[in-house]
Amino acid sequence: MPKIIIDGKDFEVEENLSIIQACEVSGVEIPRFCYHEKLSVAGNCRMCLVDIEDSRGMSPKPVASCAMQVSDGLKIHTKTQRVKKAREGVMEFLLINHPLDCPICDQGGECDLQDQSVAYGVGGSRYEQNKRSVENKDMGPFIKTEMNRCIHCTRCVRFSTEVSGSDEIGAIGRGRDMEITTYLDIAVKSELSGNVIDLCPVGALTSKPYAFSARPWELKQTESIDVMDAVGSNIRIDTKGNKVMRVLPRNNDEINEEWISDKTRFFWDGLSLQRIDKPYLRTDGKLKQISWSKALDVASDKLLSTKPEKIASIIGDLASIESIYSLKELMDSIKSPNTECRQDGSKISGGRERWLFNSKLSGIDYSDGCLLIGTNPRIEAALINSRIIRKSKENNYSIGLLGNKVDLNYNYNFLGDDPAIIYDLISGTNPFSKNLSKMDNPLMIIGQGALKGDKGEDYLNLCIELAHKYNFLKDEWNGFNVLHTAASRPGAMEIGFLPGEKGKNLDQIIKSYKTGDISTLFLLGADEIDISEKNDCFVIYQGHHGDKGANIADLILPSPSFNEQNGLYINTEGRVQESIRATFPVGEAKEDWEIISLISKKMGLENNFTSFEELRSSLFLHYPHLADIDLCLSGEQLPKKIDVKDIKQHIFSNSLNNFWLSNSITRSSKLMCERNNISKKLDQVID
């Protein structure tokens, strides 16, 4: 490890670090604008200038610390008069054309330029000519542009190319005429576009929905997790009073790094729209408001008067483990076996090793090839897709797709959409088999779209056989991965919210619901199933938005959204995470566990909980590992001998067809609806 000297102090750092990285790990701050550790080095701003000294003496001029690696014996000077003068010169140059409109800038209080001008600003400018004026660009409903503030750091350009893979943002012109823009002068199409707002160091790109609504120091910050997909991105929810104002990413290199998807960043306006805030009962074909006492009486009477085998319950995509556990306890108490969490109709079951992302999300970075089966990660998990984008730029990184042909923002080998092609891969007759045989650490990512239908579990077994055929499963590597799309599902699978003995799965519940064999159906936030046709079935819907489930419900019980109650989740890689309450429930809404406990009490059952702490204690008693936040669960070794059945009648169907309108919250969001409409128009323009 190289030994270096920074400002007269000795340090030992890792090899291949740049000077700016070495200073950062050593606790020495270097100002920067264009440099970002997750992006390539551009060396545009020159704010990170330092003096260096080696055996040949002092450098003739300050050097850009972001673009030079450390070497053994290197002396780095960050506080010399020459360095100070150089940085002040750079700052004066950057401010020549800047409008200096800090009082009205949404970046105020969080602006790198503002902060660094305090340290390196000279208090005036020698430039007396007119400032440059640049026309603002239209980058869609999310990104507000003030291009006069732009300093051409090109962070947004590099992010667009290297992380989102969209190549939508670039630079035109040269010198003082250079402008950052979209190439076709249309809205940015990427599902990760909002991250350029965080990357911009000067307020040229800010959040359009958040514009002029609040200042950072007015906001309460709550660290939580995202439930818009199963990635479990670490987020920060900023609130003003009881209103969510914005959602920002928190750094976690194991999960989302520093990024979040646009759906995660901008869904927040849907939290206050189309909310269910009071109990309702359908009377004479119309929903009428009732009291909580009446609602609980109706729910308990219905469950008590119905035979257990004619009661079914389905979990929605956003439910916490505590909510699921409380409903499971209720269903177990009345001996109803018809419990289902696989709202998309997939047939996954068994040990964790069969339904987790076993390589972990960070494991993508260590893979040397990838096989996608029945999935569109760009829509189902945009942040996972961004990791694959980064790997796709490496030489000899081969990607194959078996399933529906889609645009993933990177090149891949399309193997076809016939599920039976997997037999050719197993036998080695498919051309892509040669690619698989050359991989030391290959990834297999199986989407829920490959696991639907009666043959879904059989197809999963075939994928396991394929994994054993090549190097997907080794002592030091597990590349067998199932990608979930619902935040609630891994947690529900973990505690066993699946059909019991002689219990009905989703397809059977829906069929029985329509024929009348299921006479009472309990929906816990379930809004993604086709149950518009019914016989005499009584539907109890417990949720927070007036969506598909509420539309067909006979009894509606209002509950909080995920940001209005504490709860545990397990993400697609098996990591235990905690969502923290940022705001309070609206209207008369009660927490999910409380509603179910009150129903249990009305029914005279013993397993009702009087507090959230009591519920968690019971949960941790049965599943003690859930108390360890950030624990990444793992399964057993996948068996080599598996009963593989014929899957000739199996078909692929996409698990998620619309990125922007994937759940009840996003469908209530004006921003998501607007962005969805723009996507349709952009598709027409590009086609």
* pLDDT tens track for 177-204: 899 998 766 788 899 999 999 999 999 9
pLDDT at 491 over 80: yes
Average pLDDT, whole number, for the chain? 94
Give the pLDDT confidence score for residue 185 in this predicted structure: 65
Interhelix angle for 612-622 vs 321-333, to 10°? 80
Query: Which tokens is 573 given?
Result: 């890689």
Tens of pLDDT along 568-612?
Answer: 999 999 999 999 999 999 999 999 999 999 999 999 998 789 999
90-116, pLDDT tens digit by residue?
A: 999 999 989 989 999 999 999 999 999
Q: Is the pLDDT of residue 230 over 90?
A: yes
Residue with tokens 């929810």: 237
Taking only the tens place, the pLDDT of each residue in 373-421 is: 999 999 999 999 999 999 999 999 999 999 999 999 999 999 999 999 9
Query: pTM for the full model?
Result: 0.95
**In angstroms, how far is CA 329 from the centroid of its own chain?**
30
Number of Cβ atoms within 10 Å of the Cβ of 101: 12
Amino acid 630 reads D
Each residue of 308-366: pLDDT tens digit?
Answer: 999 999 999 999 999 999 999 999 999 999 999 999 999 999 999 999 999 999 999 99
pLDDT at 647: 84
pLDDT at 247 over 80: yes
Q: What is the mean pLDDT of residues 140-165?
A: 95
- CA–CA dist 624, 621 (Å, integer): 6
- pLDDT at residue 176 in the model: 80
Range scoring the smallest mean pLDDT among 232-241, 519-528, 533-542, 566-575: 533-542
Q: Is 682 exposed, middle or buried (0-12, 13-18, 19+ CB in 10 A)?
A: middle
At 520 the pLDDT is 96
pLDDT higher than threshold 70 for residue 684? no
Does the pLDDT of residue 3 top 60, yes or no? yes
Residues ≥6 apart with Cβ < 8 Å to 97: 131, 132, 148, 176
- Integer distance in angstroms from the first to the last C-alpha of the chain? 53
Q: Are 317 and 545 in contact (CB under 8 A)?
A: no
Report CA 308 to chain centroid distance, whole Å. 38
**pLDDT tens digits along 429-468:** 999 999 999 999 999 999 999 999 889 999 999 999 999 9
pLDDT above 60 for 150: yes
How distant, in Å, are the alpha carbons of 38, 204, 375, 398, 430 from that of 402?
30, 41, 8, 13, 12
Q: Is the pLDDT of residue 686 over 70?
A: no
Rounded to 10°, the helix 592-602/612-622 angle is 90
Please state whether beta strands 280-283 and 555-558 pair in parallel, antiparallel, or not at all (unpaired). antiparallel
Q: Collapsing DSSP states into helix, strand and coil, what is residue 391? A: helix
User: In this structure, what are the phi and psi dihedrals at residue 281, rounded to the nearest 5 degrees?
Assistant: -130, 135
What is the percent of the chain with per-residue pLDDT over 90, rounded to a whole number?
86
Q: What angle do CA 390, 265, 380 make, to 5 degrees?
A: 55
Q: What is the pLDDT of residue 667?
A: 97
- Alpha-carbon distance 137 to 134, whole Å? 9
Instruction: Specify the pLDDT at position 417.
Output: 94
* pLDDT number for residue 175: 83
Q: Is the CB of residue 324 less than 8 Å from the CB of residue 317?
A: no
Q: What is the pLDDT of residue 645?
A: 74
Q: What separation in angstroms does the CA of 417 have from each of 128, 272, 481, 483, 486?
A: 64, 41, 20, 18, 24
Locate 627 and state its tokens.
């108390």
Quote the pLDDT of residue 331: 97
pLDDT at 687 over 60: no
Query: Could you give the C-alpha distances from 272 to 357, 586, 629, 668, 676, in angstroms and in order?
Result: 33, 9, 29, 9, 19
Dist CA 340 CA 321 (whole Å): 14
Task: Output the six-digit token pair for 380.
Answer: 């189902």
Give SS3 for 157. helix
Pairing state between β 286-289 and 280-283: antiparallel
551 burial class (0-12, 13-18, 19+ CB within 10 angstroms)? middle
Greatest extent of the chain over all pairs of C-alpha atoms, in Å: 92
> Above 90 in pLDDT, residue 123?
no
**Cα four-point dihedral sign 292, 298, 301, 304:** negative
Cα separation, 89 vs 127, whole angstroms: 12
Residue 520 CA to residue 512 CA, distance in Å, equals: 11
The whole-number pLDDT of residue 56 equals 87
Residue 21's Cβ-side half-sphere holds a number of Cα atoms within 13 Å equal to: 16
β pairing state of 3-6 and 75-77: parallel
pLDDT at 524 over 70: yes
**Token match 């869904």: residue?**
267
Rg (the chain; Cα; Å):
28
Q: What is the pLDDT of residues 643-666, one digit of tens each?
A: 777 887 888 888 898 999 999 999
